[in-house]
Structure 1
Amino acid sequence: MVPDQPLPRSLTILLGTAAAVVVLFGIREVSSIAGPVVLALVLVIAVSPVRNWLAARRAPIWLQVAVPFLIVVLVLVGMVAILTVSATELATLLPTYTGQFEKLVADAQAWATSHGLSNEVLSKWVTAFDPERVLGLAQVLLGSLIGVLSSLFLIVVLLLAMSLDAPATARVVSRAEGRRPHLVTALGTFTHKTRRYLIVSTVFGLINAVLDMLALSLLDVPLPLLWGVLALIANYIPNIGFVIALLPPTMLALLDGGVQTMVLVIIAYIVINVVTQSFILPKFLGDAVGLTTTMTFVSLIVWTFVLGPLGAILAIPLSLLTRALLIDSDPDAEWARALVSGRPRG
């Protein structure tokens, strides 16, 4: 008999790419279900240290399930309430700035004319940087998040089911270590990295949100609580999260307080972000993500396309899960592991 010949590398890559496209488009078609499932999984992983702490103290099983579950539910309900009220206030507030925007355009046209710029060039700038359009994008983002969180019943049911199954799942995975050691190790690494990423990002996101709210309150920018919550949520979005958190309050500061207030908001956000994200956060986060900058940005694009705004927020955990299942669980995929992490072995 002729021994089985391995498939050519090019054909393997082509088939793998085709399968990935089919799977991603399939997930996209059921994103209204897949999104809450992934969110529930990530939240269960995030609060698992609470369950472990209770288990170490031999608390009853019902308490090990109830306490983490209630923590997550209270956080979700609070987020839904804040986002809903704030988005309603923003929708009511925006029409009141029509006059201020028209005045800003008129002043800009007068300044452009005095400096030899044509109104046509200015009109293109106004179209590109229309504050109302930027704030409208903020409304769309907040509306999408509210739409996801409004599936609260489904998320809560999934959370409860996963919380109840967590102890049994941990036992099953530990028993499989002898048969599939690489897969078990990969899943354990995924859980550890995801939990560390979420906890550290949440702590620093809260610090950023509080500092941003204080700065906006001192500058009398409307809706500081909304922009603080947006800063916290955007902290989970890699690469472009800072820009998403900065643009809406900056445009509102321009409409409400003028150019000086806008500049002060930009300076405050940059200072806060540089201090916390560039100097302090890397020391605590370390190598928790294990993805190159390019892979992080690609994952942001892919998961946003598949799951919408929720995919942008969960891009890092989803990429870590994909890496665990497809790369870290395969001992022969060292080259792929080095490619996505940027750290060659040895």
Structure 2
Amino acid sequence: MDKSSSATEVRVAEDWSIPRGLIVLLSVAAAVVAIAGMKAFSGVIGPVFLALMLTVAVQPIQEWAQRRGWPAWTGMVGALLAVIAILVGIGGALALSAVQLATLLPQYDDKLNELLDHGRGWLSNWGVGDEQIHNALNGIDVGKAAGVVEQVLGGVLGLFSNLFFVLALLLFMAFDGMSMGRRIQVVKEQRPAIAQALLSFANGTRRYLVVSTVFGAIVAVLDGGALWLMGVPLPVLWALLSFITNYIPNVGFVIGVIPPALLALLDSGPVLMIWVIVVYSVINFVIQSIIQPKFVGDAVGLGVTVTFLSLVFWAWVIGALGALLAIPLTLLVKALLLDMDPSTRWADVLIGAPMGKPADKSDAPPDKQ
């Protein structure tokens, strides 16, 4: 009776097992709910992850201080000062440059009207009706452009209003970071796969930030120098914009070239605008499209398609901050959903960089949870 009962229970368990298709459907439904929740709370998730990314970036400062035998609080203070310097430096430079741009734009009102007159004549010669021309060009105005700049400036100042929230998070995370090494060691003893996934996220984020920062600085210097030689106004602002947009994968170059090209058109005409586009295209294509993707792919282990899709997805969920943090956010999701489970690590082959070298299996943790 016992053997027959056991066999019956096994058959019943097999009969009532959830079909794989239903598991996939339930997983997709749960993902939709999670994404909707992230989108609803994007105003909180964005700053929280920004603070997390900055904490991960400066964590080596705390580790360096601990290795030298200094008190733990010295490393925490050093990490906080480094983050504050980054935020205040970039935010202050952007705010100052935006004020200069808002002051400069009204001077090109007459030039814009002249260009619009030429545009109306050109469209008329091609047989476009006066009403269509009026509808197409009526909304173009330097005053409106200045209003957009003021809105951007207001957004920058709004960031400073949320700076206290970010700094508070950084303070708490930096305080926890003083004992993070010991915590990870305990997790590594109990759940080595989870510890390895978290360390992989942290190391991948740091490598990505280092690579993007180095190449962003190179692009900023080359773009700013070229704009200065060509006589485009505010080359420092556009160099800073090139540096920031370098953190946006795939399409950051397009975002960075539009403002200086339009300002070159207003300042000196279409010839200078074409030269700006050509110079930007040469510099950024060689660095951002040929050289940098190789280093980024090796650093984070993500393919070009995955990086582009992550940009679109996180920009839609979180907004502009999601575009800047797309790669680290994807690395975090990858660590939580794939790297923690040995049975799903095969997915790295599909989403990883196609030319990346194979992982060193000697460092891989044992497949136990």
TM-score, with length taken from structure 1:
0.89
> Aligned to 2:99, which of 62, 70, 88?
88
Which residue, 3, 7, 30 being the options, matches 2:13? 3
Which amino acid in structure 1 is aligned with residue 81 of structure 2?
Answer: L
Give the structure 2 partner of residue 14 of structure 1.
25
Closer, same or farther in 2 for the Cα pair 1:128/1:306, shift >3 Å?
A: farther
Q: Residue 42 of structure 1 corresponds to which residue in structure 2?
A: 53
* Alignment-derived partner of residue 201 in structure 1: 212
> Which secondary structure state, in structure 2, belongs to the residue aligned with residue 18 of structure 1?
helix
Q: Would the alpha carbon gap of residues 316 and 283 (structure 1) be closer, same or farther in structure 2, given more than 3 Å must change?
A: closer
Closer/same/farther in 2, CA of residues 183 and 125 from structure 1, 3 Å limit: farther
> Among residues 244, 252, 258, which one is paired with 1:241 in the alignment?
252
TM-fit CA distance, 1:230: 1.3
Q: Deviations over 1:44-95 (max 9, x none)?
A: 1112222222222222212111112101101111222111222222233333
Secondary structure of the equivalent of 2:176? helix
Measure the CA separation in 2 of the matches of 1:112 and 1:226: 34
| Count of aligned pairs | 345
AA matched with 1:295: V
SS in 1 for 2:299: coil
- Mapping for residues 270-309 of structure 1, pairs under 5 Å: 270-282=281-293, 284-309=295-320
Q: Is the 8 A contact 1:87 1:143 kept in 2?
A: no
Corresponding residue number in structure 2 for 1:57: 68
In 1, distance between residues paired with 2:148 and 2:333? 30
Q: Does 1:212 align with 2:212?
A: no
Any conservation in 1 of the 2:187–2:195 contact (CA below 8 Å)? yes
Over alpha carbons, which structure has the higher Rg? Answer: 2
CA distance 1:178–1:98, shift in 2 (3 Å): same
- For the residues of structure 2 that align with 1:272 and 1:204, how far apart are their CA atoms? 11
Residues 90-145 of structure 1, C-alpha deviations (whole Å, 9 max, x = no match): 2333333222122112223434556x453569949965996968887776666545
Q: What one-letter code is carried by the residue in structure 2 that aligns with 1:19?
A: A
- Say yes or no: does 1:118 pair with 2:117: no
The 8 Å contact of residues 193 and 289 in structure 1, kept in 2 or not, is answered as yes
- Give identity over the alignment, percent: 44
CA contact (8 A) 1:200 1:284 kept: yes
Match of residue 342 from structure 2: 331
Check if 1:28 corresponds to 2:39. yes
2: CA distance between counterparts of 1:247 and 1:257? Answer: 15
Separation of aligned partners in 1, 2:133 and 2:205: 46
CA RMSD of aligned residues (A): 2.9
State the structure with bigger RCO (CA 8 A, min sep 6), 1 or 2.
1
Q: 1:321 aligns with which of 301, 320, 332?
A: 332
**Which consecutive residues of structure 1, in runs of 5 or more, have no partner in the other structure?**
none
Instruction: Identify which range, 335-344 or 47-56, moves more after superposition.
Output: 335-344
Which residue number corresponds to residue 191 of structure 1? 202
In 1, the alpha carbon distance for the partners of 2:90 and 2:221 equals 15
Cα gap change, 1:214 to 1:246, in 2 (>3 Å): same
Q: Is 1:225 equivalent to 2:236 in the alignment?
A: yes
Kept in 1, the 8 Å contact 2:123–2:133? The answer is: no
Separation in 1 of the partners of 2:134 and 2:174? 53
Q: What amino acid is the match of 2:82?
A: I
Are 2:76 and 2:178, in contact at CA under 8 Å, matched by a contact in 1? no
Pairwise CA distance, 1:319: 0.4
CA separation of 1:137 and 1:24: change in aligned 2, threshold 3 A: farther
Distance 2:172 2:106 in 1: 44
Question: Alpha-carbon deviation of 1:25?
Answer: 1.9
Tell me how far 1:21 sits from its aligned partner. 1.8
* TM-score using structure 2 length: 0.83
Structure 1 residues 11, 238: CA separation in 2 closer, same or farther (over 3 Å shift)?
Answer: same
- Deviation of 1:7 after TM superposition, in Å, equals 2.5
- Structure 2 gaps, min length 5: 1-8, 360-369
